[in-house]
């Protein structure tokens, strides 16, 4: 039995997927579909684009879904010769969409279109309510919650027992990071 976990937002980088695009027709087909569905060359953005453009939520979300499904298709091609494909799929945040595609619950075309819109909506909301997030490592949840109470921020995500993400206003996050570092966080 095998399981695959798909990456979330923040895993993007310039050059991602180019090797798969060139080596696997299945991966090339995924990038080509994404270009068609989105109406612009997400492939070019991934392979040789501007890092600041790729970092934008409206771009990185469809780019990551495209890349992870292109990688999954390449993996299926290679793995099918040796062992069965995944019994289970899961994803971290945005990676849930790739898992839905890999699990056959959603088409790739629908997923890449959906996450593009999701990213656009997220950017619109971020402009209306600007804030910041920070990942705190090395503190227990109780200590992070105390920092949050003292600095008027919130726990946004518990990635693992030792990595907790906080969110709030920019100045409050700055204060919270200083308080967390004083308490032993990185």
- What pLDDT, on a 0 to 100 scale, did the predictor assign at position 129? 81
- What pLDDT, on a 0 to 100 scale, did the predictor assign at position 144? 95
143-157 tens-digit pLDDT: 999 999 999 999 998
Predicted TM-score (pTM) of this structure: 0.80
- What pLDDT, on a 0 to 100 scale, did the predictor assign at position 127? 87
CA nearest neighbour of 60 among 12, 113, 8: 12
- What pLDDT, on a 0 to 100 scale, did the predictor assign at position 131? 87
CATH number of 3-128: 3.40.366.10
Q: Which of helix, strand or coil describes residue 64?
A: helix
How far is 61 from 54, CA to CA, in rounded Å?
9
DSSP notation for 71-121? HHHHHHHHHTTTS---SEEEESTTHHHHHHHHTTSS-HHHHHHHHHHHHHH
How far is 34 from 101, CA to CA, in rounded Å?
13
Residue 163 has pLDDT above 70, yes or no: yes
Q: What superfamily would CATH give domain 132-182?
A: Malonyl-CoA ACP transacylase, ACP-binding (3.30.70.250)
Q: For CATH 3.30.70.250, list the domain ranges present in the chain.
A: 132-182
Q: What is the DSSP letter of 53?
A: H
Q: Which ranges in the chain belong to alpha helices (H)?
A: 18-23, 25-38, 42-48, 51-55, 57-79, 95-102, 108-128, 141-151, 170-182
112-128 tens-digit pLDDT: 999 999 999 999 988 88
Residues 97-126 have a mean pLDDT of 95
15-69 tens-digit pLDDT: 999 999 999 999 999 999 999 999 999 999 999 999 999 999 999 999 999 999 9
Residues 164-172 have a mean pLDDT of 92
Residues 178-183 have a mean pLDDT of 94
How far is 23 from 12, CA to CA, in rounded Å?
20
| Residues near 3 by beta carbon (within 8 Å), at least 6 away in sequence | 86, 87, 88, 89, 90
Q: Packing angle between helix 57-79 and helix 25-38, nearest 10 degrees?
A: 150
Cα separation of the two ends of the chain:
37
Q: For CATH 3.40.366.10, list the domain ranges present in the chain.
A: 3-128
- What pLDDT, on a 0 to 100 scale, did the predictor assign at position 69? 97
Average pLDDT of the chain?
92
68-90 tens-digit pLDDT: 999 999 998 887 666 666 789 99
Query: Higher-confidence residue: 11 or 66?
Result: 66
């Amino acid at each position: 039995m095998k399981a695959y976990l798909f990456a979330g937002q923040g895993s993007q980088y310039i050059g991602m997927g180019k090797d798969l695009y060139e080596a696997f027709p299945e991966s090339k087909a995924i990038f080509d579909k994404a270009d068609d569905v989105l109406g612009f060359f997400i492939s070019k953005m991934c392979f040789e684009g501007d890092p600041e453009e790729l970092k934008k939520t409206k771009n990185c979300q469809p780019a990551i879904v495209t890349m992870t499904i292109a990688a999954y298709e390449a993996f299926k091609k290679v793995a099918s010769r040796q062992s069965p494909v995944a019994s289970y799929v899961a994803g971290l945040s945005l990676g849930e969409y790739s898992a839905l595609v890999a699990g056959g619950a959603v088409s790739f075309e629908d997923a890449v279109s959906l996450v593009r819109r999701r990213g656009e909506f997220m950017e619109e909301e971020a402009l209306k309510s600007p804030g910041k997030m920070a990942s705190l490592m090395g503190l227990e949840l109780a200590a992070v919650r105390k920092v949050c109470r003292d600095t008027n921020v919130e726990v946004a995500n518990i990635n693992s027992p030792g990595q907790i993400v906080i969110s709030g206003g920019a100045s409050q996050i700055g204060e919270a990071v200083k308080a967390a570092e004083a308490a032993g966080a990185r």
